[in-house]
Structure 1
Amino acid sequence: MHRVGIIISDHFQMLALSTLTVLEFANYANGKTFYQPQVYSESGGTVRSSLGIGVETLPLGPDALADTWLVAGVVSPVQEPASDGVVHFLQTTARNARRVAGICTGAFVLAQAGLLNEKRATTHWAHARSLAVMHPTVQLAEDRIFIIDDRIWTSAGMTAGLDMVLGMVEKDLGADIARVVAHRLVMSQRRSGGQTQHSEILALAPRSDRLQRALEYARSHLGKTLTVELLAEAVHLSPRQLSRLFRQETGKSPAKAIEGLRLEAARLMIEESRLSLDAIAHEAGFRDGRHMREVFIRGYGIPPQSLRSGR
C-alpha cells in the first residue's frame, strides 16, 4: 500500500483534489488498491477552498505519515504564505517521505520550507516570476508542465497537476497502467514533464470549429506536405475560404500557422527524444535540418542543437 497525503489550506484551488482521481483510477486499472490517499491540513477539520466549499481533513502531526506528499496551491501565494505549522511539517516529517510534490503554486510552499533550494522546479506561468524573486535559489524552469529533481516534484498550474501525478503512476505501476488511466480520464494525451506550458494551437486562438479541426489535422500530419488545398479538403472548405478564416481568426497565413506547429513539435522531440536532428526535421515536416535550423533561429533566436546541449 502506497500512502498519499495531500495538504490543503484555506483558499486552496479545488482542482488540486482532482489529482486524487488519477490515483483512484490507477487503483481500478491495477486491479487492486495500491494508493491510499488522505487529505490533511495543519489543524484538521473543515478547510474552505477558494470557492468556499468545505473539505474535511485530518490534522498534520507526527502520526501523519505518507509515502508521497502533495501540497496544493492557493490563489494568491504571495499574499497567503504557508503557515508555520505546515512549513515545520514539511521540514521535518514530510521531507523523509519517498516523494514531496507541489501542485501549481504549491511550489511556493515547498520553497518556503527550503525544499527547493538549488532544485529545478516549475509553477504556474502567471506566478513564475514571483517565485523567482522570492526564492532566488530555486532553479526555475517556468515553461515546463512538471519537473522531477530527485525526490521533489513540482507542476505547472491547473491541469498540469494531473500530468504530474500520472507521471508518478507511471513510475510506480508502469506505462501501461498510466495509459489506461489517461484513457479513462479522457485525457487526449499523456503530457510528459518536459513539455511546454504553452500550446501553439492555444496561442493561435482559433474560434471556429472548422479552423480548430484544420489545425488539429495539420498537427497530426506534420510529416506530410500540408498545402492549403489539403487542409481545405479535410474540413470541407474551399482553399480561399480557409485562407480567409486563418487570417480572420489567427492573423496568420496557413503556411505561417503550420510553421509554428512544426516548430513546437520539433522542439518537443529535441527535448524529449534521442532522435537525430535530421530525423526530427523529417518527422516535423521541415525540408531538411538546415531548413529547421533557419526556422528555429527565426522563431526562438537559438539553433535547435542548443536545446539538446543544455540538457
Structure 2
Amino acid sequence: METVLVVLFDNVQSLDVTGPVEVFNGAELHRPGTYRIRTASPDGAPVRTSSGLTLVPDHAFADAPPAHTLLVPGGAGTRRPDERVVAWLREHGPRAGRLVSVCSGALLLAAAGLLDGHRATSHWSVCEKLAREYPGVEVDPDPIYIRDGRLATSAGVTSGIDLALALVEEDLDREVALSVARHLVVFLRRPGNQAQFSAQLAAQTAQREPLREVQQWITEHPGADLSVETLAARARLSPRHFARAFQTETGMTPGRYVDRVRLEHARRLLEDTADGVEEISRACGYGTPEAMRRSFVRTLGAAPAEYRRRFRPATTH
C-alpha cells in the first residue's frame, strides 16, 4: 500500500485537493490495498480553502506518515506561502518517492528548492512568476502536466485529475485508470503534452459581435476557406480593417488563430480517431498532408504519424 500525502494550508484551492484525491480513492476502491490517502497541515488544524470550504487534516506535519506520493496543491495561499509549509517541504520532499504539484503548488516546491534543474509547469497565470523568481527551474507554460523523473507538475485545477489518472495507470494499469475516469466522467485521453489553452482560450474574445461570430465560425469550420478576404466578408469589413480589428481585439492575427484552430482539431482527430493523415489534413483545411506535417513539426516537434504513435492511447476492449 502506497501513502498519498496531501499538503494542506489556508487558502488552498479545494479542487486541487479533491480532484486528485478522488482519483486515488477511486483506484483504492477498485483495487483495495493500493493507496492510503492522508492529509496534513502545519499544525494539524483545519484549513479554510479559497472557496470557503473547511478541510480537516488527518495529521500535523510533525506526525505525518512517510509519503510515497507527496501532493502539493495550489491556490491563493501560495502567493504569500506559509514558511512552515516551505520549510517542511524542503526537509521532507527529498524523502518522498514521488513529488506532485497541482496548479500553483509548483511555487511551493520551487521555494523549497525542489524544482531546481528540472522541467516543470504550472497554471498559465503563474508560469511567468515561477520562471522569474526561480531561474533554476525550466518552466514550460504549455503542457497540462510534465513528468521529470520523480517530479510531476501540472497546470490548473482539472489537470491535476489528468495527472493523477496518469499516475494511477503507471502504478497499476490502464484498466484501473479507465475505470476511475469513467466513474468521474472525465477523459483518460488527455496526454501531458496537450496545451493548457484551446485556440479559443489562447485568444481573447473579441468585443464586437461580428468578430466573435467569425471566431466561432472558424472553430466550427476548420476545413473551410479561412483566408482573410473570406473572413472579412463574413464580418462585413474590408480585409485590411478586419485584420487590424481582429488582432487588436483578440491579441492574435487571423492567420495565427486559424493555424491554432486547425492544429488543435487535427490533434484531436489523431488522438481520437483512426482516420488517415491525408483524410485529416483535408478535414482540417491543410490541403495536403505535407502542409499539415510542416505545421506539426514547426509547432510540436513531431510529424503527425509520430504524434499519433506517442499520444494516442491503445484501444481498450
TM (norm. structure 1) is 0.73
Q: Which residue of 2 aligns with 1:49?
A: 49
Amino acid in the other structure paired with 1:50:
S
User: Which residue of structure 2 aligns with residue 119 of structure 1?
Assistant: 118
Aligned twin of 1:34: 34
Q: Quick one: distance in 2 between partners of 1:49 and 1:269? A: 38
1:10-57 CA-to-partner distances (Å, cap 9, x unmatched) read 1111111222111122223x3424111111111112111113322111
Equivalenced residues, count: 277
User: Equivalent residues in 2 for 1:201-240 (5 A)?
Assistant: 201-202=200-201
Say which SS state the counterpart of residue 125 (structure 2) adopts.
Answer: helix
User: 2:286 matched to which residue of 1?
Assistant: 286
Three-state SS of the structure 1 residue aligned to 2:301 is: helix
- How far apart are the structure 1 equivalents of 2:52 and 2:72? 19
Distance 1:256 1:56, change over 3 A: closer
Contact 1:11 1:50 in 2 (8 A): yes
Does 2:179 match 1:180?
A: yes
Residues 270 and 308, structure 1, Cα contact 8 Å, conserved in 2: no
Residue number in structure 1 paired with 2:24:
23
**SS of 1:69 mapped into structure 2:** strand
Residues 1:71 and 2:72 are matched in the alignment: yes
Counterpart of 1:93 in 2: which secondary structure? helix
Distance 2:91 2:13 in 1: 25
Aligned mates of 2:225, 2:184 — CA distance in 1: 34
Query: Relative to structure 1, is the Cα distance of residues 305 and 162 closer, same or farther in structure 2, using a 3 angstrom cutoff?
Result: closer
The 3 A distance-change label for structure 1 pair 94 and 259 is closer
Cα drift, residue 283 of structure 1: 8.4
SS in 2 for 1:17: helix
What is the root-mean-square deviation in Å for CA atoms of aligned residues? 4.2
Q: Determine if contact 1:44/1:60 at 8 Å carries over to the other structure.
A: yes
* Cα offsets for 1:272-306 (capped at 9, x unmatched): xxxx9989857866332432267x3xxxxx95277
Q: Secondary structure at the match of 2:94?
A: helix
Indicate how the Cα distance of structure 1 residues 117 and 289 shifts in structure 2: closer, same or farther if over 3 A, else same.
same
Correspondence for 2:313: none
Deviations 1:178-224 (A, max 9, x none): 122112111145311111000125457699xxx99988876xxx8xx
Q: Evaluate the alpha carbon distance shift between residue 187 and residue 132 of structure 1 in structure 2; reply closer, same or farther with a 3 A threshold.
A: same
Of the structure 1 ranges 91-100 and 128-137, higher mean CA displacement relative to structure 2 is found in: 91-100
**Counterpart of 1:42 in structure 2: which amino acid?**
P
CA contact (8 A) 1:201 1:215 kept: no
State the 1:226 CA deviation: 6.2
Counterpart amino acid of 2:75?
V
Match of 1:7 in 2: 7
Contact residue 122 and residue 155 of structure 1 kept, 8 A: yes
Query: Which letter does structure 2 place at the counterpart of 1:56?
Result: V
Q: Distance in 2 between matches of 1:175 and 1:111?
A: 31
SS in 2 for 1:104: coil
- CA distance in structure 1 between the aligned counterparts of 2:191 and 2:116, rounded to whole angstroms: 24
Equivalent position of 1:61 in the other structure: 62
TM-score (normalizing by structure 2): 0.71
- Unpaired segments ≥5 residues, structure 1: 229-242, 297-301
Letter in 1 for 2:122: T
Aligned to 2:47, the other structure's residue is in SS state: strand
2:127 maps to 1:128: yes
2:68 partner letter: D
Tell me, in whole angstroms, the C-alpha distance in 2 between the residues paired with 1:172 and 1:215: 41
Give the residue type in structure 2 aligned to 1:183: R
Q: Deviations over 1:233-289 (max 9, x none)?
A: xxxxxxxxxx78xx9xx999xx99775432124568999xxxx99898578663324
Unaligned runs of 5+ in 2: 227-233, 236-241, 243-248, 308-317
Q: CA separation in 1, counterparts of 2:285 and 2:279?
A: 10
